[in-house]
Amino acid sequence: MPTSEMVGDPVMQMMKETLTVILAGGKGTRLEPLTRDRAKPAVPFGGVYRIIDFVLSNCLNSGLRKLLVLTQYKAMSLDRHINLGWRQYFVRELGEYIDIVPPQQRIDEQWYQGTADAVRQNVRQIEEDPCSDVLILSGDQLYRMDFRELLKTHEETDADITLAALPVPESHVAGFGILKADEAGRVRAFVEKPKVIEKEHEPFHTPTNWIE
């Protein structure tokens, strides 16, 4: 719940006006057999919890109250978990919600073809919301983050797009999209899961929302 210090806080007001899109449609084939009957974000973690609980907890603790969860593969257990465990924390009459959005096929007859395509196919839902900003998150990562700091930086730098990134060792770059940022934090180069990083491209960072 908001504290007395948060009342009237412009950052908290910005969080209320931010629409959060959570990408929760991945197959999670690398986690077989855990994902044999469920989507990766629905994989159990620590007893009764699920992987998606990390990002949902981050959202609520950051003051984000308008969430779209984009699902696709084997989503029934994920739908059930969200309905039973999370809907009670949102009051739709106050403009708060957590809505599960399967592929709508409004643009074509394809399922989501990737992260960007999942957002593209739901542009109508995003445009219909009177939001000031859109925050796009992954539903299958384990991390802790205060999104208020991210949105505050986004606002202060007057950026069109802000990426949260984590440095990774060169030995791990093949599994990530890798970006290069200058001293001001501006993205200057991007390579998708490169096999080799050339020296002039260093240092690179992954455009994920993981932090330690």
| Helix (H/G/I), strand (E/B), else coil: 106 | coil
Structure tokens that stand for 174 in this block: 């093949």
Q: What does DSSP assign to residue 172?
A: G
Crossing angle for the helix pair 52-61 and 76-85, nearest 10 degrees?
30
The model's confidence at residue 202, banded by pLDDT at 50, 70 and 90, is very low
Distance between terminal CA atoms of the chain? 25
Strand partners, 49: 45
What are the tokens at 71? 């699902």
CB 101 within 8 A of CB 122: yes
Residue 8 has a pLDDT of: 57
Q: Which residue has the higher pLDDT, 110 or 58?
A: 58
Statement: residue 197 has pLDDT above 70: no
Q: Looking at residues 80-89, what average pLDDT do you find?
A: 93
pTM listed for this prediction: 0.80
Higher pLDDT, 142 or 173: 142
**Half-sphere exposure at residue 62, Cβ-oriented, CA atoms within 13 angstroms:** 25
* Range among 13-17, 25-29, 99-103, 180-184 with highest mean pLDDT value: 99-103
